[in-house]
Structure 1
Amino acid sequence: MTLRPAWLLALLLLVSGLGVLAGVLTGSTGWADLRDDRMALILWEIRLPRSLGAWCTGALLGLAGAISQGLFRNPLADPYLLGSASGAGLAVALALAFTGVSAQNASLLQHVGLTGLAALGTLAGVSLTVLLARGVEQSLRLLLAGVVVGVVLNALTDLISLWNPDILRAMQAFLLGNTGLLGWSSVAVMASVGAVALLAGLAASPVLDALTLGEASARSLGMPLSALRGLLIAAFALATGAAVAQAGIVAFVGLVAPHLVRALCPQRHGWLLVLSALAGGALLLAADVIARLVIRPQELPAGLVTALLGGLYLLVLMHRRGLLQR
């Protein structure tokens, strides 16, 4: 089934709106009682910013995934390709290991800003990848450098966890993705970063269209590939950094959202970036609502739900394309 871009845009906006409504009305203890005066405070201060924050996180990851897949001409590329998630995880592990996880130090970390440390770790991971690749001119070299940086930084994070096992429980929420602590400040940060990243991506989207024909063909069109590639890397690193810093490592959204958009509405990258952002927001918002309902009054990590649903989607995709057949 192929949809027109405007129809898919309207459909995703409708799904997102319904998802926000479901997120506001759904809690770990059940559906909201709108007749309770105290419920208004809960809806406005907790559930609404959480739902909007989950949507913004998914939108950032969907946008970053669409950029990375176009930039590397690889449908399996995801936002964590250049060491961003590994850098964020190492920064969080270092912060927890050296400050401890006691109540006093936890309040200190909250004051200093664990999200800020995760953002710095994300930027450090991407910067190290670009430095190792000696710039952004060669996509293959950049891709390999990202794999190397990710493996090394993940190994360092594991070493820190072995050295200080007390941080494992605190690290778990970050590594599995957690939308439960998103507030209005998170929504403001991610919305601002998302607008900047989307504008940068749209400005450089012609180079993504040109790269579908091959790097040599793109160069023959006279485009400043190095400058535009650098702009695209900065855009998806910024988007990924903001999402990871606020909600932890949410799996599969950045990979699956562009796939769904291409399947429903194959378009040039200008439309693809916008629609992938909307699809990513809708996917994570749906996962957040499911995470609250499955085992309530407890909650599953939203990243665990996206990993399960994303894995099932890829299995179905592989089966339909005959990749699982002998």
Structure 2
Amino acid sequence: MSLLLQEGTIGNVTLKNRIVMPPMCMYHAETDGHPNAFHTLHYGSKALGGVGLIIVEATAVESRGRISENDLGIWSDDQIAGHREITAICHDNGAKIALQLAHAGRKCECESEIPVAPSAIAFCSDAPYRLPSALPLDEIKNIKDSFVRAALRAKEAGYDMVEIHGAHGYLLCEFLSPLSNQRSDLYGGTLENRCRLLVEVTKAVKEAINLPVIVRISADEWMEDGWNIEDSIALSKALKTAGADIIHVSAGGNQALTQTQPLFVPLYQADYAKRIRNEGSIPTIAVGLITTPAEGEALLIGGVCDFVAYGRELLRNPNLALTAAKEFQETDKIPASFRRGF
């Protein structure tokens, strides 16, 4: 039996297979952040195609936390109903579903908002990025509270779990790096202090909703004096203590120009997931130019990760899980409605 098509658990939630759709911004919401028919169809099609876990794209916990004017939001109770339509269609078609809770920080491109960050350091000097305002301590507390309120709304909307976005140079990731975080208070300086906000958000969200919590991180920002895999292993141990159930391991995104960026080849981020899984003693989701069922199977056989995320490939082929069932000769996992096509 294929490992990729075997059941797996995250926290107390069982998934029918180990195929994950990672969050990918669709830029299809109106400026009010409400989900619409596009989102329901987009995510519903992946559930119909057999994906075990769908993670909905970066969804802002406050208005100034959007990456763009067309990002989804979960900062208001008015947005819950639209999200409930997404979870309902995915559940009806056999998938579990998570919502990625996000704050863009200094990478907010909304002209109507003033970006915020741990320190007043712009992502880069080119438009649309602007100089952010450094967050005072009272606003940091407000942002933590915004993550908790957003998580509670996600639970009310029917999501099975949440993912906290601590990757790709967005706000929580910005606090991790000594290059983007030059604070001298309890949220800056030492590794423990720079990790503090993400750890506190994780702990507070877990306690508030008592659902599985995924944390997505960038394992390395590809800078000689920046955040690296050793830091990520230490962070993952702290996140596990705080209540994280699994780490979704990506990389990069915190610097516009990097020094040690690897070649973007298939499985280029997989070793990060393996090291965090083995040295951090916490389950991982591997992601990054994984495109075939055979590649996912090899990662699981090799003990690299516990779940495999297919991003761009699921945009090209929403029926990837059914393709895998044919490839691994497990056609009983293909719904009768689709079997003639395989």
Q: TM-score, normalised by structure 1?
A: 0.29
Structure richer in strand, relative to its length: 2
Q: Which has the larger radius of gyration?
A: 1
Structure with the higher fraction of residues in helix conformation:
1
